[in-house]
Structure formats: structure tokens, C-alpha cells
């Protein structure tokens, strides 16, 4: 079963790592955060580390050892892609389907302040009816228009049935 899973992982990795990008690009993307930390805000001296990169087997898109210019340009592209969210640095988080069946999230303690007492109910109900609030003539005219509009809609939606007699 693990060989099938390993093969699937290799296929998915190959799909994710398109041939449009070099092994150098993918290595720099995977180690983006570490590279930023190691540089400490300064410039990376690519000529000084090219031999180490080549010894690690990291190649450019053509399969050869990268030059300082290519390494610098590739690093700039990786930084732009990470900033734009097109590529994620470091290891990807484990997908929920790959978590062990026994995994449970860590409990979180949340302190909820006690509720204040409910507001006291009014001693008598509020007045209702047409006399409870004065309504201006303008509001009455607007409500009359709505009544007429709804009456017309009702006639179209629910036409009176004809009786056979």
C-alpha cells in the first residue's frame, strides 16, 4: 500500500512542479523562509555559493549548473511568486484526509463574560392602532399607492374564477 501511495505522491509532485520551472526554482521556493533568514536582510552573494549549489545537484532549467545571474534572477522570481501567493514556501500543511484517525484538535479555553440581566419589560403594552402615532399625509399617500399596487398584483396573480351556471 505504501508503494502505491509513494507513486501517487511522486506523480502529484511531478504535476505540481511543472517543467516551466527549474530545479533551482523549486529548491529556492521550498527553502524560501530559510534563505530570507540566512540573508538577514542583506544581498545574497551568489558567486560564493554556486559551487555548493552545483555539488548538491541543483541545476538550472537546461540541466546545467546555474550561473550567478541565473541564480539571482531565479531568486527574484521566487520572491515575487511567494509574495503574490502563487507558490507556498516550505513544506505544505498536511491535508485533513492524511491526518491519523486518532488526531483531535487541541482544546481551546474561551472565557465568556457573564450576561447582564435582561432589560425590564414595560409595565403596559405600547399603544397600537391608527391613533397611536400621527402619520403625515405624505406617508398616507405613499401607503395608499402600495395598497393599489398590491391590489393590482393580486388581480393578476389570483384572477377571479368564473362560475358555470
Task: Give the three-state DSSP class for 35.
Answer: helix
Grid cell of 127 as nine digits: 399603544
Segments forming the whole domain that contains residue 43? 21-92
Q: What is the pLDDT of residue 94?
A: 58
H helices of the chain, in order, are: 2-16, 23-30, 32-39, 46-55, 68-84, 137-157
Cβ contacts of 17 within 8 Å, gap of 6 or more: 26
Q: Whole-model pTM above 0.75?
A: no
Q: What is the pLDDT of residues 97-124, one digit of tens each?
A: 767 788 788 888 887 777 766 666 667 6
Grid cell of 20 as nine digits: 516551466
Grid cell of 116 as nine digits: 447582564
What integer is the mean pLDDT of 74-95?
75
> Does residue 16 have a pLDDT over 90?
no
Q: Is residue 144 part of a domain?
A: no
What is the number of structural domains in the chain?
Answer: 1
Q: Is residue 106 part of a domain?
A: no
Q: Is residue 13 part of a domain?
A: no
Task: Give the three-state DSSP class for 98.
Answer: helix
In angstroms, what is the C-alpha Rg of the chain? 36
Q: Is residue 29 part of a domain?
A: yes
Q: Is residue 11 part of a domain?
A: no
Q: What is the pLDDT of residues 132-155, one digit of tens each?
A: 567 788 888 888 998 999 888 888
> Does residue 164 have a pLDDT over 80?
no
Q: What is the pLDDT of residues 17-67, one digit of tens each?
A: 566 788 898 889 888 888 888 888 888 999 999 899 999 999 988 889 999
Q: What is the pLDDT of residue 122?
A: 62
The Cβ of residue 68 has, within 10 Å, a number of other Cβ atoms equal to 14
Residue 146 φ then ψ, to 5°: -65, -45
Q: Is residue 27 part of a domain?
A: yes
Amino acid at each position: 500500500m505504501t508503494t502505491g501511495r509513494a507513486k501517487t505522491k511522486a506523480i502529484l509532485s511531478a504535476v505540481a512542479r511543472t517543467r516551466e520551472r527549474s530545479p533551482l526554482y523549486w529548491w529556492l521556493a521550498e527553502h524560501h523562509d530559510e534563505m530570507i533568514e540566512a540573508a538577514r536582510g542583506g544581498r545574497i552573494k551568489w558567486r560564493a555559493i554556486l559551487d555548493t549549489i552545483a555539488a548538491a545537484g541543483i541545476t538550472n532549467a537546461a540541466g546545467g549548473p546555474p550561473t550567478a545571474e541565473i541564480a539571482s534572477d531565479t531568486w527574484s522570481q521566487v520572491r515575487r511568486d511567494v509574495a503574490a501567493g502563487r507558490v507556498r514556501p516550505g513544506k505544505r500543511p498536511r491535508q485533513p484526509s492524511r491526518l491519523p484517525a486518532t488526531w483531535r484538535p487541541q482544546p481551546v479555553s474561551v472565557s465568556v463574560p457573564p450576561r447582564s440581566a435582561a432589560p425590564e419589560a414595560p409595565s403596559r403594552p405600547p399603544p397600537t392602532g391608527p391613533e397611536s402615532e400621527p402619520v403625515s399625509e405624505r406617508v398616507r399617500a405613499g401607503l395608499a399607492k402600495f395598497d393599489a399596487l398590491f391590489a393590482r398584483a393580486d388581480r393578476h396573480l389570483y384572477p377571479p374564477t368564473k362560475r358555470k351556471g
